[in-house]
Chains A and B, each alone.
Chain A
Amino acid sequence: EVQLVESGGNLVQPGGSLRLSCSASGFTFSNYAMHWVRQAPGKGLEYVSAINSNGGSTYYADSVKGRFTISRDNSKNTLYLQMSDLRPEDTAVFYCVKEPGSSNTIVPYYFDHWGQGTLVTVPS
C-alpha cells in the first residue's frame, strides 16, 4: 500500500524558514517523480513544485520560485521542501503527492496518491 506521510509543518514568522519532509513507502520511491501541492485554509488546490526521480530536474510555480527548494533522498525514501522568506500567503496545508508514471523526467501529470498534509502557518 502506498503511504505518504508529511511532517515539519509549524507556525513560523514572516521571513522565516521551514523544511517539510515526506516519508514514502509501499512503492519504489526512486522510480517516480514527486510533487508538492498546497491548499490555503478554506481555499482550493495550488500546484507548488516537482522533482524528477533522481533529483536532477525540478520545477517551481512562479509563486514560490526563488524561495522554495524541492529535493529528495532516495536512500531514505524521503521528499523535502525547503521554504524560506515565508509570507502570510504561504499559509496552507502542504501535500506530498505521487504521480502514476514511472519516469526520470518531470512532465505535467495527475496524482494518484496524496499524503494527509502538514500545516504551515505564517501569521500576518
Chain B
Amino acid sequence: EVQLVESGGGLVQPGRSLRLSCAASGFTFDDYAMHWVRQAPGKGLEWVSGISWNSGSIGYADSVKGRFTISRDNAKNSLYLQMNSLRAEDTALYYCAKDNKQWLVGNAFDIWGQGTMVTVSS
C-alpha cells in the first residue's frame, strides 16, 4: 500500500524551530519529486516547498523562503522540512505529498499523507 506518514508537528513558540518528517512506503521513493503543502485552520491549500528526486531542484513559496529548508534522504525513504523563525501565520496542517514525476516540472500531487499539525503560539 502506498503511504505517506507525517510526524514532528506540535505547539511551538514564535521564533522557535521545528522539524517535520514524512515516511514513505509502498513505492520507489527516489523515483519521484516530493512536496510539502499546508492548510491553515478553515483555510485553503498552500504549496510550501518541493524537491526533485535527487535534491537537484528545490523550490519554496515566497512566504517561507529563507526560513524553511526542505530535504530528503532516499536511503531512508524520508522527506523533511526544517522550519526556523516560526510565525503565528505558519500555524497549519502540514501535508507531505508525492509528485507523479521525478522533476519539479509542474506535475501533480498524486499521493497525500494525513498531515501533521503545527501550532505557533506563545
A and B pair up: no
